Amino acid sequence: MSCTIVRRQFHAPDKRPQWLRQLALHPVLENIYLNRGVESSESLDCSATNLANYAKMKGIDTAIDILIDALTTQSKILIVGDFDADGATSTALCLLALTEMGAKHVDHLVPNRFEYGYGLTPPLVDIAAERGAELIITVDNGISCIAGVAHAQSLGIKVIVTDHHLPGQQLPPANAIVNPNQADCGFPSKMLAGVGVAFYVLLALRAELQRRDWFANQQIPLPNLANYLDLVAVGTVADVVPLDQNNRVLVHQGLQRIRAGRCRPGLTALIDVAGREAKSLTSTDLGFVIGPRLNAAGRLDDMSLGIACLLAGDDSSARTLAGELDRLNHERKSIESSMQIEAQAAVESLQFNDAQLPLGLVVYEESFHAGVIGIVAGRLKDKFARPAIVFAEESDDTLKGSARSISGVHVRDILEQIHTQSPTLILKFGGHAMAAGLSIRKQDLALFTSAFAEALKPSQGEILQTGVVLSDGELSDEYLSIDFAKLLQYQSPWGQGFEEPIFDGTFTLVNQRIIGEKHLKLVLETPNGNHVDAIAFNVDTAIWPNLSAKLAKIAYKLSVNTFRGKSSVQLMVEALQPC
């Protein structure tokens, strides 16, 4: 956890803009928001009225016409999702909302990653045809599924692609494509998750159906799509898309519903099995508590289990399904832990020092589990501050890889560059700036590793500057309080691109001990003599506890720890340096 701690700019109170001072916010929050690029009071307003309008989204009118025709004729609609939390929430959202809007024949199909791989593949289309599908709607996938969409068209099945991943040079031959990242799309928020795109399609569909008096004529109550914002919030945060203003509105509104106890029984059950309380849930919990439990189904088993939990209509069945997801998550953690040890050993065996590490890390072991490679790639990225790709066997001849990147290095563009220069090297790929997936021939691993290193050379400056933790400054003891910690947690949805505040300071190390095998529990003393608890996750136990260290420079997030009904402030350590 040794990183360089760099303080962000401090904006003197008398130099802060008038509009910000008029909001009468806490002065620490004012400085935090300025360092997050906030430029107006409107950009801090997370009310639903501030959501961008769907009208500028390319392809949405065509998609709505197709959907209305399907509703009118009661065609068989099949939702094809992805096998992660974004795909699960997208699928559940469409199933629930379309049913509420009057669709009588709507079902879903999510590929098992071990049998069919990612997205709408031709074999998956064959299954859809066997089920009698007349319209396929892809959610959180489809933009790269050229062959699958073409196969569906050849069978007379209409396809609407809703996706947020970056398009390649060729688009699928779908009847309609809704993706804010396609060329010439005027929608202002390009950062929507897959569930966000699906939500916007449903907003537009409801508006047009209402204009045509569909609900009145069918004697259907007007659906309140705000009831599904809990799903949208979970999928958005779990997919680690940047929280621009539009996504912050979606997440804030979803969190408000969850905290008020107005969320799906499945989400309530997942919160319960994780030992959290809905009324105090934060955006961080969505990503680190709910998301992993949903993702565990798709990683180790079948995402149908996660979707079933989200669709559960009663507390009893939801609790049973959430318990099974929790069990799978524990299993996933065990597999991940052993893989992480192997992957780190593979990197460290290169015997490079930090300055000589490869610009990008590529790791493969025959024993790696394909469902967990993305998490392990993320761990390597965090530990070594390098873009990382972890491969596992996809078949006897091919490897499946999952890539995770650092800020400033667009990993999907890197793969696009490699594909352009060596068209046969990567069999398929897709993704976005921070995460991507790909497949290569097993025999080409060395060639790909070299090509990856070469493609990263222009980004060398950005890569070598990583390993830096940006701090919002030092906090006085009066702010190391439950009230201030809660103020930060509930003031705004924090996440990718709108990072949760991090502070730093030098503390006396009063007590150090390892808990849970590799987590460092600390008691710290502030310069003013006050004691505060802290915890550092996944430390290097060869270095910590460090009983010779009396002082430490620590970067941390503020949190509230509740144990046996008693709450106290706890510092979540992001960087730890003995002094």
Which CATH number is associated with domain 350-464? 3.10.310.30
Q: Please provide the average confidence, as pLDDT, over all residues in the chain.
A: 91
Q: Quick one: tokens of 88?
A: 């699960």
pLDDT surpassing 80 at residue 86: yes
Which CATH number is associated with domain 4-8+469-578? 2.40.50.460
E-assigned strand segments in 280-404: 361-364, 388-393, 398-404
Residue predicted with more confidence, 104 or 298: 104
What is the reported pLDDT for 501?
96
Domain with CATH 3.10.310.30 in the chain: 350-464
What is the reported pLDDT for 490?
85
pLDDT band of 301, cuts 50, 70, 90: low
Residue for token digits 């979970």?
234
pLDDT digits (tens, 9 = 90+) for 366-416: 889 888 888 889 888 888 888 999 999 988 899 999 999 988 888 988 999
For range 34-51, the mean pLDDT: 92
Residue predicted with more confidence, 272 or 112: 272
What is the reported pLDDT for 558?
95
How much of the chain is helix, strand and coil, in % rounded to 5? Answer: 45, 20, 35
pLDDT digits (tens, 9 = 90+) for 109-165: 887 665 666 789 999 999 999 999 999 999 999 998 999 999 999 999 999 999 999
Domain with CATH 2.40.50.460 in the chain: 4-8+469-578
What is the reported pLDDT for 2?
58
pLDDT band of 492, cuts 50, 70, 90: confident
For range 48-76, the mean pLDDT: 96
Share of the chain above pLDDT 70, in %: 96
pLDDT band of 465, cuts 50, 70, 90: low
pLDDT surpassing 80 at residue 358: yes
Instruction: Looking at mean pLDDT, say which of 74-78, 81-85, 282-286, 312-316 comes out highest.
Output: 74-78
Residue predicted with more confidence, 304 or 61: 61
Domain with CATH 3.90.1640.30 in the chain: 53-325
Instruction: Calculate ∠ Cα 298-316-306, nearest 5°.
Output: 10
In the sheet that holds 398-404, the strands lie side by side as: 361-364, 388-393, 398-404, 435-441, 426-431
What is the reported pLDDT for 112?
66
Q: What is the DSSP string of 409-468?
A: --HHHHHHHHHHHSTTTEEEEEE-SSEEEEEEEGGGHHHHHHHHHHHHGGGHHHHHT-SE
What is the reported pLDDT for 335?
82
Q: Quick one: tokens of 540?
A: 């290097």
Task: Classify domain 53-325 at the CATH class level.
Answer: alpha beta
Lowest mean pLDDT among 129-143, 431-445, 522-536: 431-445
For range 310-337, the mean pLDDT: 89
Residue predicted with more confidence, 444 or 436: 444
What is the reported pLDDT for 158?
98
What is the reported pLDDT for 180?
97
pLDDT digits (tens, 9 = 90+) for 201-257: 999 999 999 999 999 999 999 999 999 999 999 999 998 889 999 999 999 999 999
Furthest CA-CA distance within the chain: 77
Q: Is the separation of the CB atoms in 307 and 88 below 8 Å?
A: yes
Share of the chain above pLDDT 90, in %: 67
Residue predicted with more confidence, 278 or 352: 278
Q: Which of 243, 245, 295, 278 is nearest to 110 (CA)?
A: 295
Strand 176-178, strand 158-162: pairing: parallel
Distances in whole angstroms, Cα of residue 569 to Cα of each of 1, 474, 491: 21, 16, 17
pLDDT surpassing 70 at residue 474: yes
Q: What is the DSSP letter of 374?
A: H
pLDDT surpassing 70 at residue 1: no
Q: Which of 292, 204, 335, 188 is nearest to 247 (CA)?
A: 188
Q: Is the separation of the CB atoms in 5 and 469 below 8 Å?
A: yes
pLDDT digits (tens, 9 = 90+) for 161-215: 999 998 888 999 999 999 999 999 999 999 999 999 999 999 999 999 999 999 9
pLDDT surpassing 90 at residue 355: no
